[in-house]
Each structure stands twice: as structure tokens, then as C-alpha cells.
Amino acid sequence: MLGKNGLGWGRGLHGFRLGSGPVKREGDGRAPAGIFALSYLFGEGRGEGFLYPYRRMTESHRCVDDPRSRFYNRIVDSRRVPRDYRSSEKMKFSSGLYRYGIAVAHNPRNIPGAGSCIFLHIKKPGGQPTVGCTAMEEGDLLSIMRWLDPGKHPLLIQAHRKVIGRLLPTNLQLTRLR
């Protein structure tokens, strides 16, 4: 599942924009399109069984989505940093959508208003779209998390079918998963 308003060009390894279409902005309900590094895995557990860097989230962890904050687009422990933000996402909440997740390096320079807190995470029951992330079944997410190897420098490549070919190196074969 993608954002409720589809895709918008994000800020990642592909540069700023490749082709026409909307640009990802804070609160637009769009998932970012482009090529993105994966920063780290996160979740509520201890992270056993993963090769990729893992961060355990607690009740006090927040991802700051307030563009006026110096912590914009960062996950912080709210008990340890001065609160200069008006809005944030809890990284551990009752719905369990963030029980496991992967932080996507969208907007790595933390440009205010360019979009924040982009993750691969567990999808909502009933197949509802996200507010800007990419979501999937828990089992699929865990399979990806176990498969990720930091030594191979994995990337997230997501875009509309019409432009995906422009994002890929010419020597890379795209295999469609079924």
C-alpha cells in the first residue's frame, strides 16, 4: 500500500525530480517516488535475527514531523531532547503498524517541509492506504528485514510504471515479483 494520494517525487539518490508529476511535501498523503537508501530497521523487540542495523523503539520515541523543529525528520527519545516541536509520530502505538519497520532515507538533508518520517511498515487491516509511507503484510516486511544485508547496500526503488525504467541503470534487469 502506498500513500492515500499516490506518489510524489521524493528527495533521494535519484536527484530531485525525474519527469512530471507532483513533488513530495509534508502532509500531502503521498509516498515518495525515486531511489532511496535504507537507513536502519526498527521495532518493538530486540532485533534478533537481522543483519541490518536495528533500533528498538519505546513509548518515548517520536519521529518529528514539525518543519520548524531542529529535530525535523528524525526519530528522537522525547525524554532526552528538549521539546521544540509541536507535532510528531509515536514510534510505538497500539495499532502495531510500527511493530516492525524500515526507515527510508527520504529527505536525508532534513529540508523543512519536504516530507518526513518515511518508513516501510506493517499495513493497516482492510488494505487502507498510508499517509505517506509504503506498507505491506507483516510477514512480507519481516522477510525483507531478514533478507537485507548492509554489505550489499540495498535500495528502495519505487515509481510509476511509466518512469521506472529511467530510474534503473541500463545494465540492471528488473524482475517482477509475483
Query: Looking at the predicted structure, is the pLDDT value of residue 140 above 90?
Result: yes
Q: What's the pLDDT score for residue 178?
A: 35
* Residue of 100, 105, 102 whose CA lies nearest to 120: 102
Does 171 fall in a domain?
no
Residue 138 is part of which domain span? 38-152
Task: Assess whether pLDDT exceeds 60 at residue 14.
Answer: yes
Per the domain annotation, does 16 fall within a domain? no
Q: Is the pLDDT of residue 162 over 70?
A: yes
Residue 25 lies in a domain: no
Grid coordinates belonging to 159? 515509481
Q: In sequence order, what are the beta bridge partners of 64? A: 88
Structural domain count, the chain: 1
Identify whether 162 is part of a domain.
Answer: no
For 100-126, what is each residue's pLDDT tens digit? 999 999 999 999 999 999 999 999 988
Give the pLDDT score at 68: 97
Q: Is 43 part of any domain?
A: yes
Which helix (H) or strand (E) is 97 found in, with range?
A: none
The cell for 46 is 530486540
Is there a domain that residue 170 lies in?
no
Mean pLDDT, all residues of the chain: 91
Residue 16's pLDDT band (cuts 50, 70, 90): low
Q: What SS3 state is found at 172?
A: coil
Q: Is 72 within a domain? A: yes
Per-residue pLDDT of 45-70, as tens digits, reads 888 889 999 999 999 999 999 999 99
The phi and psi torsions of 160 (rounded to 5 degrees) equal -65, 145
Residue 158: inside a domain: no
DSSP 41: E
